[in-house]
Amino acid sequence: MVVVTDSYMGIFTPLDIDYRITQFLEKKIEFPFIKKDEIIGIFYLFGRNNKVISDLEILSVKDIAKRTMEQRARSIKIFHEFRKNKLDSDFIREEYNKRILQISIEEQASSSSSSSSKHLNYRITRDPTILSNCFEQHIAYYKQDYFFDLFKRPIKKTEVPSNLVSKLEQRMLMLCYNVSDSSQLPDNNTIRPFFQWLNKYDK
């Protein structure tokens, strides 16, 4: 199993991030569309479909996670250094639209070429590139701290609510928040908000 192709990334808080991105793309709201005092939470789920079983796969996840952290840091630094140009609503919207064009071409080339606009919008608002940029741009704009929390081994059945076992058992997880550490979170807990989102919204 190739872990990198069996990974899943998303934003789980704010809960309405997909709606906000759509509103932003339609020019109904401007950047920033997440408030400074709002918690932003992103997740990386490794082994989504095939689980993480072997020691080699665990090492692979740790390597991917390390490179992901480094990439987020580099991107945030660039956005911060060139904030006057890169954190402008028109520039951000243009960059998102370039990615949307790529997604549209992929959809047309795939067997799902007859996909509905609803499906296309679903892909757009959950696209890892757009969501990663969204996180990085808001971090840079507000000059916020952030931290990653990598669960360094596959999740055990006994560590998750029973209704989430099928989604999380033998997977590896990394979370990231726009605060300096977990003590700044409402419940002083990194994983509970993710569990709540996964249970209610990730169908």
Per-residue pLDDT band for 110 (boundaries 50, 70, 90) equals confident
Q: What is the pLDDT of residue 200?
A: 83
Average pLDDT of the residues in 16-34: 97
Q: What is the mean pLDDT of residues 169-176?
A: 98
Does pTM surpass 0.85? yes
Please say if the pLDDT value at position 2 is more than 90.
no
Share of the chain above pLDDT 70, in %: 95
Token pair belonging to 194:
């993710």
Instruction: Write out the residue range of the structural domain in which residue 159 sits.
Output: 3-200
Average pLDDT, the chain: 93
CA distances from 24 to 85, 92, 134, 197 (A): 18, 10, 11, 23
pLDDT recorded at residue 153: 96
pLDDT confidence bin for 154, thresholds 50/70/90: very high
Query: Which residue did the predictor score with more confidence, 3 or 51?
Result: 51
Whether residue 64 has pLDDT greater than 70: yes
Query: Which one, of 135, 137, 42, lies nearest residue 83 by Cα?
Result: 137
Report the number of distinct structural domains present in the chain. Answer: 1
Rounded average pLDDT over 181-190: 92
Q: Does residue 23 contact residue 33 with C-beta atoms inside 8 Å? A: yes
Please say if the pLDDT value at position 115 is more than 90: no
Looking at residue 201, its amino acid is Y
